[in-house]
Chain A
Amino acid sequence: MIKNFKDKNLIRLFTDFGIAVVLILEIIIFSQVSPYFLTADNLLNISLQASVTAIIAAGMTFVILTAGIDLSVGSIVAFAGVVTTSLIKLELPVFYSLAVGISAGLLFGAFSGYLAGTFVTRLKITPFIVTLALMTIWRGAAFVYTEGRPVWELPESFSFLGTGRILGIPFPTIIMIFVFVASHIVLTKTRFGRYVYAVGGNYEAARLAGIKTNFILISVYVISGVLASLSGVLLASRINSGQPNAGLGYELDVIAAVVVGGTSLFGGRGTIIGTFFGSMLIAVLRNGLNLLNVGSYVQQVIIGVVILLAVLIDQLRKK
């Protein structure tokens, strides 16, 4: 009886997440060709490399579920990074400087998301245009703010966020797992999550069902903004500097991970678990190709092909 139950769950995992099949295939192939691939060291390394975009992808899942898009995430990573690092450099006691710097970075992300959500709901401008504009604005602002120079010479204590480990597990990995578990619970178990699916599935029906659709839309952009800025802070800590060109092109990697994970760009359909697999699929691929010494240009081509294949397999499975 119990065995039967487990089998059913396993089957569901495969049918619900066809993408998991591709991920497992990848892992099998790489473990055959590189003995180092399946070591604990390397797996933790993959999770660390994946964490920055995966955390953003969790937030992007909320936005895409409402049939929106957030192109501003890459620039938020940069601006949050330079704001946080520049504030940390102020001559404050260590604890205060970290607290002020990090909070300011996260608050900025929330503000940007609120701005995007307000433009989308109140002024009825399409999310693509609103976030495209914000993407340009924050990128430019990051360069203006730093006068084009990276913020260097940060206190030792700040680097723990990006490079520290707890029980051997990288701190960003722990944050990533926390973000995914929390997002999964919010989307599947709470009223807010249900409303996100409803608004994305049928906006007018949601409004007529008494849902505060504007609030839901603004909230998903805030979530996306905060998680992008969180990634920005982690990244700045890991590279131990605030770079105005950090996170360049992240928005596309992130959207790819979400879509590969089975979330519909038309909204209303998708899961956070899918996004997790999607993020991992791309991270594992990149790591494996690196181990095999495949050049970075060729890597881009291969990753593009695998994204297409993954989505194709997902489509075939649904038929």
Chain B
Amino acid sequence: MNQNNLLELRNISKSYPGVLALDSVNLEVCPGEVHCLIGENGAGKSTLIKILSGAIQKDSGSILINGQSTQINSPLDSQRLGIGIIYQDFKLIPELSIADNIFLGNEILNEHSFTLNKNKMKLLAEAALHQLGEQYDVDTPIYKLSVAAKQLVEISKAINKQVKILAMDEPTASLTESEIKNLFKIIKKLKNDGVGIIYISHRIEEIFEIGDRVTVLRDGKKIITEEMKNVNRDILIKWMVGRELAQQFPKNVEIRKTEILRLENVRTEKLRNINLSLYEGEVLGLAGLVGSGRTELARIIFGADRIMSGNIYLNNKKINLKSPKDAIDNGIALLTEDRNLYGLFTELSVRENISISNLNSLINGVFINKPKEISDSKAFVESLKIRTPSIETSVENLSGGNRQKVVLARWLYTKSKIVIFDEPTAGIDIGVKYDIYNLIKQLVKDGIGVIVISSELPELIGISNRIAVLCEGEITGILEEHEISQEKILHLATINLN
């Protein structure tokens, strides 16, 4: 086995001031293997990948490639050794074309010249994409591509550099079901070509589909490496979290049938003929493929976008939402999908992020009532179990799950009556996910109407009382609790296509 290893990491340690990020970690990758790497945020996965990429250097331990001891001191070293990394946030230049990006830093010049051989690069780029079974106009600029297409360009870029080892960080995070299937097909192709793949994911279900072996990290230590066929979901979670999680999806059963929100014949550029009601104390799920109009629907309820025609009623009273401020004043809250881009002020403290939408109630004359702000923020940190050193810590130092809780605290503080979650657990640890499900349960218990958008069907089915399915900007069906199934949702989500 040993001489067969493409990559071998021995006793890798890395510490940052105050934290031991990696503690004597071992990892082996064979050619043609998909080696899954799982663990909660802060377990050390990204530190390990950064060491492989040459972005940071290990403190101790050794790296062997094909049995040969080697050093990775820079990103260039890493590339020369045949290591490719596909980051979650792609490292592509939006304005440049597909071909330009694939050859970035690796350009082909005309013979005896310093000018770029654009034709050759275009042909090779097309060939690289073709190898993945894809066809694109390689002159297209990156910013016009979907997330899945950008990922394909990243993979082509790696293939073009003849990688032997490919590390993928959460590659399916923003892909739809069919795009994921396509990605898995490509991964299998790479496997057949003898590439060793390190696959990082939060989605336990998919690693059973794609993985050969799995290594679990927790708090910087390797817990175990095991063949996928010898493990199951529950044991993996136990290894990751270090404890057993009880029932995964808590659900509320009593629903008060008081309608709080109603949309009648709402139309926008992307949405057609939307008729939808939300009741007090229920979780209404919104399902659909990426681009089906789920997020657009959430944004018009929140006043972030305007409707072209139709009516919105709140407690049977017609309302006109011109801006998010109008929605907030009416007790509507939105937790956006991209918390960092649209939800948080990362430089500001936990306290300032919690109080920002509720300063009106904290004003004493002209000054902010700081003692009250501090005590209220502390109360939210405690009740939502936000893990932060203090309420004065910048939000940028918090993990994804705790950031999500900070945004939630903000909307609880404004006493919202309707809370919309767009992908509430994207990129969040499994332990904290469970916290979020429990918080949603608490919200509906208090009579709040909750709307949840999620691409993870098991999650959506698990927490929703009803599910509305969108396809191409239309609601193609609303499933009551007893009718909900994965098949029905997928059927409705694709009914309008073709």
Q: Give CA–CA (A209, B302) in the complex, Å.
A: 10
- Tell me whether B325 and A205 are in contact (CB under 8 A): no
Which residues of the partner chain B approach A197 to less than 8 Å between Cβ atoms?
345, 347-348, 352
Which residues of the partner chain B approach A194 to less than 8 Å between Cβ atoms?
352, 355-356, 359, 368
- Tell me whether B328 and A201 are in contact (CB under 8 A): no
Q: Considering only CB atoms, which chain A residue lies closest to B362 in the complex?
A: A191
A269 in contact (CB, < 8 A): yes
Which residues of the partner chain B approach A191 to less than 8 Å between Cβ atoms?
359-360, 362-363, 368
Other A-B pairs beyond A208-B302, A268-B345, 11, CB < 8 Å: A190-B368, A191-B363, A197-B352, A202-B341, A202-B344, A206-B345, A208-B336, A209-B356, A210-B325, A210-B328, A210-B329
B346 in contact (CB, < 8 A): yes
B477 in contact (CB, < 8 A): no
- Tell me whether B368 and A189 are in contact (CB under 8 A): yes
Contact with B along A29-40 (1 / 0, CB 8 A): 000000000000
Chain A residues 183-216 with CB under 8 Å of chain B are 189-191, 194-195, 197-198, 201-202, 204-212
Q: How large is the interface on B (under 10, 10 to 19, 20 to 34, 35 or more residues)?
A: 20 to 34
- Tell me whether B368 and A205 are in contact (CB under 8 A): no
- Tell me whether A204 and B342 are in contact (CB under 8 A): yes
A-B contact pairs, 15 of them (CB 8 A): A189-B370, A191-B359, A194-B352, A194-B355, A195-B356, A197-B348, A198-B352, A202-B342, A202-B344, A205-B342, A205-B345, A206-B356, A207-B323, A207-B324, A210-B327
Which residues of the partner chain B approach A198 to less than 8 Å between Cβ atoms?
345, 348, 352, 356
Chain B residues 304-338 with CB under 8 Å of chain A are 304, 323-325, 327-329, 334, 336
Q: Considering only CB atoms, which chain B residue lies closest to A267 in the complex?
A: B347
Which residues of the partner chain B approach A195 to less than 8 Å between Cβ atoms?
356, 359
B343 in contact (CB, < 8 A): yes
- Tell me whether B346 and A208 are in contact (CB under 8 A): no
With both chains docked as a complex, state the minimum distance between the C-beta of B493 and any C-beta of chain A, in angstroms.
27
Which residues of the partner chain A approach B329 to less than 8 Å between Cβ atoms?
210
Contact with A along B394-433 (1 / 0, CB 8 A): 0000000000000000100010000000000000000000
How many chain A residues touch B (Cβ–Cβ < 8 Å)?
20
Q: Considering only CB atoms, which chain B residue lies closest to A192 in the complex?
A: B366
Contact with A along B358-372 (1 / 0, CB 8 A): 011011001110100
- Tell me whether A201 and B356 are in contact (CB under 8 A): no
**B binding-site residues for A, Cβ under 8 Å:** 302, 304, 323-325, 327-329, 334, 336, 341-348, 352, 355-357, 359-360, 362-363, 366-368, 370, 410, 414
- Tell me whether B344 and A205 are in contact (CB under 8 A): yes
- Tell me whether B324 and A210 are in contact (CB under 8 A): yes
- Tell me whether B366 and A210 are in contact (CB under 8 A): no
Which residues of the partner chain B approach A212 to less than 8 Å between Cβ atoms?
325
Q: Give CA–CA (A268, B329) in the complex, Å.
A: 25
Which residues of the partner chain A approach B304 to less than 8 Å between Cβ atoms?
207-208
Given contacts A194-B352, A209-B356, A210-B328, contact A204 B341 (CB under 8 A): yes
Of the candidates A191, A205, A210, A269, the one having the most CB atoms from chain B within 10 angstroms of its own CB is A210
Which residues of the partner chain A approach B324 to less than 8 Å between Cβ atoms?
207-210
With both chains docked as a complex, state the minimum distance between the C-beta of B392 and any C-beta of chain A, in angstroms.
12
The 9 A-B residue pairs with the shortest CB-CB distance, nearest first, are: A210-B328, A201-B345, A191-B359, A210-B325, A209-B357, A189-B367, A268-B347, A210-B357, A201-B347
With both chains docked as a complex, state the minimum distance between the C-beta of A214 and any C-beta of chain B, in angstroms.
10
Q: Give CA–CA (A201, B363) in the complex, Å.
A: 22
With both chains docked as a complex, state the minimum distance between the C-beta of B405 and any C-beta of chain A, in angstroms.
16
Q: Give CA–CA (A194, B342) in the complex, Å.
A: 17
Q: Give CA–CA (A296, B342) in the complex, Å.
A: 49
With both chains docked as a complex, state the minimum distance between the C-beta of A125 and any C-beta of chain B, in angstroms.
21
